[in-house]
């Protein structure tokens, strides 16, 4: 599986490369700045791009903008965004584009190698990999989460990571029936159409984020 990495910190860029190559990914190019990212993505058309949001020269949102631009030239290009912060405007634009896998993880999550590699594989396969904190912040900007209970927000975070009802139940030590009830409540409160398909459930949440 071919990967393009965009990360300006040399140690982290090398670390990401080593981790992915250890799990049988082929890193075809690793760039350290925004201007180099778009041509690399268009040239290689990788199976998945792992992109830092803030890249030189301005350290604002070059990585995210390049990823969005690349998806116009390479429709469906799977993109997994890494960031220390949630960038709401461009994140919403990327995440509500349903053509191809998308993910958004905060950088402290990649300390869990298995979780990170699983997220890369899921996005490459056309799925979603969302950090619960990202979803919470985007939802908070769209509409206050006061309509949801604490448990419902917790379940929503697990849904955003792409977990099934069974996996969420195991994670939270409750029954699948209880999780199903929580999810139905979430859909009702947020005005989302229910779905049994795990990826479509996440896309429903992302569609809500896009208004």
- Residue range 35-76, pLDDT digits in tens: 999 999 999 999 999 999 999 998 888 998 899 899 999 999
Q: Which residues pair with 104 in a beta bridge?
A: 81, 130
φ, ψ of residue 67 in degrees (nearest 5): -65, -45
Kindly report, as residue ranges, where domains of CATH 3.40.50.2300 are found in the chain: 2-130
Torsion sign, CA atoms 129, 204, 135, 39: positive
> What are 118's two structure tokens?
């699983």
Average pLDDT over all residues of the chain: 85
Q: Which CATH architecture has domain 135-209?
A: Orthogonal Bundle (1.10)
CATH architecture label of 2-130: 3-Layer(aba) Sandwich (3.40)
The closest alpha carbon to 205, from 105, 131, 151, belongs to 131
Q: What is the pTM of this model?
A: 0.76
> Which residues belong to CATH 1.10.10.10 in the chain?
135-209
Residue of 128, 145, 155, 151 lying closest to 190 (CA atoms): 145
Phi/psi for 82 (5° steps) reads: -115, 140
pLDDT of residue 21: 97
- The answer, yes or no, to whether residue 141 has pLDDT greater than 70, is no
**Whether the predicted pLDDT of 92 surpasses 60:** yes
Question: 131 and 158 in contact (C-beta within 8 Å)?
Answer: no
pLDDT digits (tens, 9 = 90+) for 25-46: 999 999 999 999 999 999 999 9
Minimal CA–CA distance to 49: which of 58, 37, 57, 60? 37
């Amino acid at each position: 599986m071919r990967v393009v990495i965009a990360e300006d910190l040399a140690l982290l860029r090398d670390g990401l490369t080593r981790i992915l190559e250890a799990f049988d990914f082929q890193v075809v190019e690793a760039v350290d700045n925004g201007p180099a990212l778009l041509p690399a993505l268009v040239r290689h058309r990788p199976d998945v791009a792992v992109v830092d949001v803030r890249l030189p020269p301005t350290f604002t949102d070059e990585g995210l903008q390049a990823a969005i631009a690349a998806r116009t030239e390479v429709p469906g290009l799977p993109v997994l965004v890494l960031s220390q912060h949630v960038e709401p405007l461009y994140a919403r634009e990327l995440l509500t584009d349903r053509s191809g896998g998308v993910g958004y993880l905060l950088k402290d999550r990649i300390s869990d190698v298995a979780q990170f590699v699983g997220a890369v594989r899921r996005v490459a396969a056309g799925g979603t990999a969302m950090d619960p904190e990202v979803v919470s912040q985007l939802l908070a900007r769209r509409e206050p989460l006061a309509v949801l209970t604490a448990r419902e927000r917790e379940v929503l975070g697990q849904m955003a990571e792409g977990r099934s009802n069974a996996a969420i139940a195991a994670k939270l030590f409750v029954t699948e029936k209880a999780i199903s009830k929580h999810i139905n409540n979430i859909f009702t409160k947020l005005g989302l159409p229910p779905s049994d398909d795990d990826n479509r459930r996440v896309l429903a949440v992302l569609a809500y984020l896009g208004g």
